[in-house]
Amino acid sequence: MSALNPISESNIVSFFHDKNIFLTGGTGFVGKCLIEKLLRSCPGIKGIYVLVRQQKGLTPAERTEKLCASRLFDTVRATNCDFTKIIHPIEGDLRSPNFGLSTHDEEMLIEKCHIVFHSAATVRFDEPLKTALEINLLGVKKMVHLCSKMRSLQSFVHVSTAYSNCNRQCIDEIIYENPFEPEKLLSAAEWMDEDMLDLITDRLLNKFPNTYAFTKGLAETYLASHAKHLPLAIIRPSIIGSTWREPIPGFVDNYMGPSGVLAAYLTGLLRVWFADTTVKPNIIPVDIVVNMMIAISWYTWQQTNANTHISPSVFNCCAGDEEIVQSRPTSEQWLKIASEQVHSHSIGYQCQFRWPRTTITLNNFTRRLNTVKKLLNTTHFFTRNHWTFSNTQSRILRNHLRNNALDKELFDFDINELDWPKYIRNHVLGMKQHLFQEDLEQMVIHYHQNRRVT
C-alpha cells in the first residue's frame, strides 16, 4: 500500500471518515466482504450498523460475533484487534413491519446514519413469488421509507443484479419500463396466499426465468418512481465469484454463483451439463463488486453536492468491454481448469483412499443428486443465453478514480488484468479451504503417495 496517509490523501477514505453506515445483508457473502473492506481501507469509520435477524437459535449479537471470527477478517484482526467494537448488530428482519426495528434503533438511524448499503435479498431462484415479493420488493419499499426520514443521509446504494432485465439481450445502465406496477403486485400479495400466487407465477414471469430476477427488476421500477428525492445509486453485479485479490485470493464461503456447479462437478455428482459451450459466464470477483459499491457511494455523494446527480443512477458491475468479453473463459474451460486439482470430496477419491472408512448411504446420495438436479434446473437459462451489458457509467466512475492515485489503488474495480486461469484455480482452492475445510497439503501428499492406485 502507498506510504501516503489514506485519510488525508484518499477522497473516498476521507468521505467515509467519521461516518455511520447502515447495512443490510451483512451476514451474506457480499455484505461480509463489504464490512471487511470498509474496516481495512477506511480506518476512520465511526460505526457500521448491521441489520441481523435471529437464526438457528443464534441472537443477532452471536451471529455478528460468528461473522467477525471468519478467516476473512484475519488481515483486519492483525492490525486492529478491537475492530469488532465498530460493528453494531441491530435486531431486525426484512419481512417484519419497519424491519422489526425497535423505537430506539429506528431513532438512532434517523439521527446518525450517513450512508446506506441495501444488500439483503433472497437469492434463491426457486423462491415462491410471495416470499420473493416480500423480501426483494417490499424490503426496498421499507428501506426507501426509512431513508426518507434520515436527517444526515449522504448516499444510498442498492444492490440489484445484472439480470434484473434478463428478458432483454442488450442491457443498458438505465431502469426499463415494467409492464407491472410494483405497488399493485404488493397489494395482491397481501391478500393472496402462497398457493394462489403460485398458480399465476408462470404467467407473471413471462420471459423471466425465476422469481429472483423478476422481483429485483420490480424493485428497480419502484426505486425509479419513489426514490428520486434520495441520493440513490443502483449497482448491478453479474454472477459473483470468489475474491480476486482482497483480502486473500480465492475466498468463498457459499455455493452460490459458480461454486455450486463446480462443487457438483468436482465431487462427481455432475457428469453431464446441458449448456452452450460458447457462452462465457459473466462472473465478477466479489472484491471488485465491493470496491465498486464503495466508490459508487462516494461518487453519489459527490454528484449530489454538485447538483449533477440524477437519482437513481445505475451501474452495471460486470464484464462489458469487448476485450474483457474476449478473454473470459467459457463454461467448458471453467470446468477443465477446475478439474486439474485433486478433490478429496469426490466420489472417486473417497473410493480410492478412504473406503471402507467412508460410507455413503443411499438416502444421502439421493439427496445430493436431487440438489444437483435442482441446481441444473435453476441455472440452465443462464448457461444457454448471452447478454451484452453497457458499462458507460462504470467507465466514467473508473475515470474519476484515476484522478486520485490512492483511490485507484485502494478501490480499483478494473478487471482488465485478471488472469482467468489463475483466478479459477484460486477459486477452487478457496472452496477446498473455506467450504470443505480440507487440509490441502496432506491431501496432495496422500494423492501422490497413492497415485498408482486406479
Query: Is-contact 148 19, C-beta < 8 A?
Result: no
Q: Which residues contact 380 (CB under 8 A, 6 or more apart)?
A: 274, 275
Per-residue cell: 283: 462472473
Per-residue cell: 146: 426509512
CA dihedral 194, 223, 160, 120 (to 10 degrees): -60
Rounded Cα–Cα distance for residues 83 and 85 (Å): 5
- Following DSSP, what letter does each residue of 396-452 receive, concatenated? HHHHHHTTSHHHHHHH----TT--HHHHHHHHHHHIIIIIS---HHHHHHHHHHTTT
Per-residue cell: 216: 429485483
Indicate the residue type of 426: N
Map out the domains of the chain with their CATH numbers.
Answer: 6-238+282-320+390-418 (3.40.50.720), 255-281+329-386+420-454 (no CATH)
Q: What does the pLDDT profile of the chain (454 residues) look like in tens digits?
A: 444 455 568 999 999 999 999 999 999 999 999 999 999 999 999 999 999 999 988 999 999 999 999 999 999 999 988 899 999 999 999 999 999 999 999 999 999 999 999 999 998 888 999 999 999 999 999 999 999 999 999 999 999 999 999 999 999 999 999 999 999 999 998 988 888 889 999 999 999 999 999 999 999 999 999 999 999 999 999 999 999 999 999 999 988 878 888 888 777 777 666 777 778 889 999 999 999 999 999 999 999 888 877 879 999 999 875 445 557 887 778 778 777 765 555 555 554 444 454 555 666 667 766 777 777 777 778 878 889 999 999 999 999 998 899 999 999 999 888 999 999 999 999 988 888 887 767 656 655 554 544 4
Rounded Cα–Cα distance for residues 7 and 149 (Å): 29
Rounded Cα–Cα distance for residues 43 and 342 (Å): 40
Rounded Cα–Cα distance for residues 359 and 110 (Å): 55
- Comparing CA positions, the residue from 118, 88, 89, 90 lying closest to residue 102 is 90
Q: What is the DSSP letter of 285?
A: E
